[in-house]
């Protein structure tokens, strides 16, 4: 049986949000999807939900106007442990910049850096592990 997950998507591209949402539901791994086109909004949402937040998978874009992916992580780090423990963050980016890749790997909160376009099969197998 396929496990289903609750997702938060953060990406400034409306296209990409649309694509991820479709892919997630089509592949059958999505229980719910919340999409944000600004990282700040997603952060506000996390704070607001607090204890009510279900275990959530976050797909986080890197390069965004306003707050970028790494800045989101810095703010995320300040959240209470109980909230942080409920989330699994994967960074999703088209970056090929080695500095970005190193930084993503070094981050305690980013489980993995996945390259765009999202390979839903890959994500599925990662999440099922």
Distance between CA 117 and CA 18 in Å, rounded? 12
Distance between CA 37 and CA 35 in Å, rounded? 7
Secondary structure of residue 128 in the 3-state scheme = helix
The nearer residue to another protein, 16 or 73, going by C-beta atoms, is 16
Q: Does 108 bind another protein (CB under 8 A)?
A: no
Q: Does 117 bind another protein (CB under 8 A)?
A: yes
Q: How far is the CB of 12 from another protein (least distance, A)?
A: 4
Q: Does 15 bind another protein (CB under 8 A)?
A: yes
- The dihedral over CA atoms of 87, 70, 72, 32, expressed in degrees to the nearest 10, equals -40
Q: Does 73 bind another protein (CB under 8 A)?
A: no
Distance between CA 123 and CA 53 in Å, rounded? 21
Q: Does 94 bind another protein (CB under 8 A)?
A: yes
Q: Could you list the residues that contact another protein (CB under 8 A)?
A: 12-16, 18-20, 22-23, 26, 37-38, 63-66, 94-97, 116-120
């Amino acid at each position: 049986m396929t496990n289903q997950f609750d997702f938060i998507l953060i990406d400034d591209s409306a296209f990409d949000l649309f694509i991820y949402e479709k892919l997630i539901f089509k592949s059958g791994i999505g229980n719910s999807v919340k999409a944000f086109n600004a990282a700040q909004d997603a952060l506000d949402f996390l704070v607001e939900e607090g204890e009510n937040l279900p275990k959530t998978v976050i797909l986080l874009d890197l390069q965004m106007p306003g707050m970028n992916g790494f800045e989101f992580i810095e703010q995320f780090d300040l959240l209470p442990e109980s909230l942080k423990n409920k989330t699994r963050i994967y960074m999703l980016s088209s970056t090929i910049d080695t500095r970005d890749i190193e930084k993503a790997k070094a981050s305690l909160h980013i489980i993995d850096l996945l390259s765009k376009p999202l390979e839903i099969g890959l994500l599925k197998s990662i999440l099922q592990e």
